[in-house]
Structure 1
């Protein structure tokens, strides 16, 4: 498997660990709807969180969160709408970015709540 795929998998695993530590229940990994994918869907109380995870091994080209494009955000929102409808969710929702930086032995997780809507 390509190195960037391994980095992404490791970043998602760190994001799951982070969210669980913060009291979130992970409902789904890599939820797909047509051409869209949501990395993580989590729940905390009556709040449903759709999280886009971006992982980088260095910051040479910018912070991970800077790589969530307008197009990607729209795709995530479209998939979230399908998930909400399929599960008949009737409470609050939020769209977050979890930016993970893995550099040598250094690990940094940055949780950006309400990143887009």
Structure 2
């Protein structure tokens, strides 16, 4: 596995551990359907939370959340809509971003941005 893939996996593992420590129930990780993909789908207090995880080794050139641009938001919202229809989920949905900065030995700084974005008008 390439070094950046290892870092991404370690970052996602750290994000899952963070969410579980804060009372979230993880429904799915790396859920895929066709060309749709969701990093983490969680639940808490009758709400479905779709989490986009961005892992970086440092923030020298850009903040991790800057990678969540409008096209990425649109794809994520469409994927979440597909997920909810497929599993017949009737709950409110929230879109969060978790940024993970550090190295793959587990020394990470985690930031959880709740309601990081809303579904855009298409």
Question: Does the alignment reach a TM-score above 0.5?
Answer: yes
TM range (shorter): over 0.9
C-alpha distance in 2 between matches for 1:95 and 1:27: 15
C-alpha distance in 2 between matches for 1:36 and 1:87: 15
Q: Which residue number in structure 2 is paired with residue 32 of structure 1?
A: 32
Q: Which residue number in structure 2 is paired with residue 81 of structure 1?
A: 81
Instruction: Count the aligned residue pairs.
Output: 117
Q: Give 5+ residue unaligned stretches, structure 1.
A: none
**Bigger mean CA deviation after superposition, 8-17 or 104-113:** 104-113
Q: TM-score, normalised by structure 2?
A: 0.90
Q: Give 5+ residue unaligned stretches, structure 2.
A: none
Q: Which residue number in structure 2 is paired with residue 112 of structure 1?
A: 113
Q: Which residue number in structure 1 is paired with residue 59 of structure 2?
A: 59
Q: TM-score, normalised by structure 1?
A: 0.94
